[in-house]
């Protein structure tokens, strides 16, 4: 009986500890509207051990799965995975921040003039890329749990891929060999962010500096 009580007490203490640690953490979900404009649904999960630290960590995933036809000539399909770290100069939610990220992408792109897929105007390339990037951004408060972020940066990376061209009848892909290339990739973001922990109310600093409010004067 005593052993059962001890187990229950230990379980209660453990649950209280987990609840306290989770409540002290800062977690966000965000969406990059510029990626959406490029038909790439995406989601970023942000995390910080507590709301007082200047450091936060995040992970972005994006996936463009169209066009889906195997013999569709123009393609922009890709999977994007990107962990990141940020340093906030003031607080975790608003103000300036600087960051660095690692980028991995598996892509299948061809016959497009987009800058991000330079070199695939007259062929299709399917392969992988990795890159290291840095960025700067600023965050504005929109509500108790919402912020908007704008960020800009660049990444330097390396890609390896197989090259293809569609035969004249459009029945099958002709192999053009393989290739490798280094590249510089611009990074732009307009992020709509939800914070699981609400913004705290601004502290009343008037008393700490000995400033009298009009209501205090009337009482006197």
Tell me what the mean pLDDT of segment 66-95 comes to.
84
Task: Reply yes or no: is the peptide bond before residue 97 cis, omega within 30 of 0.
Answer: no
Distance between CA 37 and CA 40 in Å, rounded? 7
Q: Are 67 and 106 in contact (CB under 8 A)?
A: no
CA-nearest of 1, 2, 185 to 78 is 185
Q: Which residue has the higher pLDDT, 103 or 202?
A: 103
- Tally the residues of the chain: 220
Both structure tokens of 75:
């393609």
58: which strand partners? 46, 84
Both structure tokens of 174:
């002709």
pLDDT band at 118 (very low <50, low <70, confident <90, very high): low
| CB-side neighbour CA atoms (13 Å) of 31 | 11
Residue 42 per-residue DSSP state: E
Rounded alpha-carbon distances, angstroms, from residue 170 to 65, 66, 160, 162: 21, 18, 25, 18
Q: Where are the alpha helices (DSSP H) in 26-156?
A: 33-37
Rounded alpha-carbon distances, angstroms, from residue 6 to 27, 46, 107: 33, 37, 55
**What are the pLDDT digits (tens) for 140-194?**
999 888 999 999 999 999 999 998 887 766 666 788 889 999 999 899 999 999 9
Q: Which 3 state secondary structure label does DSSP give 207?
A: coil
User: pTM score, two decimals?
Assistant: 0.75
**What are the pLDDT digits (tens) for 16-58?**
444 444 445 789 999 999 999 888 999 999 998 877 789 999 9
Q: Are 134 and 99 in contact (CB under 8 A)?
A: yes
**What are the pLDDT digits (tens) for 196-210?**
887 665 434 344 334
Distance between CA 12 and CA 16 in Å, rounded? 6
- Is the confidence at residue 114, as pLDDT, over 90? no
Spell out where the chain has E strands: 26-32, 42-48, 55-64, 75-88, 95-110, 124-141, 146-166, 173-195
CA-nearest of 21, 93, 95 to 52 is 93
């Amino acid at each position: 009986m005593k052993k059962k009580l001890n187990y229950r007490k230990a379980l209660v203490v453990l649950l209280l500890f987990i609840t306290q640690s989770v409540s002290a953490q800062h977690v966000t979900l965000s969406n990059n509207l510029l990626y959406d404009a490029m038909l790439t649904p995406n989601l970023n999960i942000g995390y910080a051990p507590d709301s007082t630290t200047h450091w936060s960590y995040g992970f972005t995933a994006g996936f463009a799965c169209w066009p889906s036809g195997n013999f569709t000539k123009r393609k922009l399909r890709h999977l994007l995975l990107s962990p990141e770290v940020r340093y906030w100069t003031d607080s975790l939610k608003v103000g300036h921040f600087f960051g660095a990220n690692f980028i991995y992408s598996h892509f299948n792109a061809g016959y497009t003039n987009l800058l991000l897929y330079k070199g695939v105007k007259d062929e299709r390339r399917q392969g992988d890329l990795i890159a290291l990037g840095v960025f700067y951004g600023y965050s504005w408060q929109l509500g108790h749990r919402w912020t908007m972020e704008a960020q800009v940066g660049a990444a330097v990376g390396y890609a390896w891929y197989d090259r293809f061209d569609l035969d004249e009848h459009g029945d099958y892909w002709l192999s053009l060999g393989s290739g490798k290339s280094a590249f510089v990739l611009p990074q732009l973001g307009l992020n709509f962010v939800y914070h699981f922990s609400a913004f705290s109310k601004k502290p009343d600093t008037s008393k700490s500096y000995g400033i009298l409010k009009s209501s205090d004067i009337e009482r006197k």
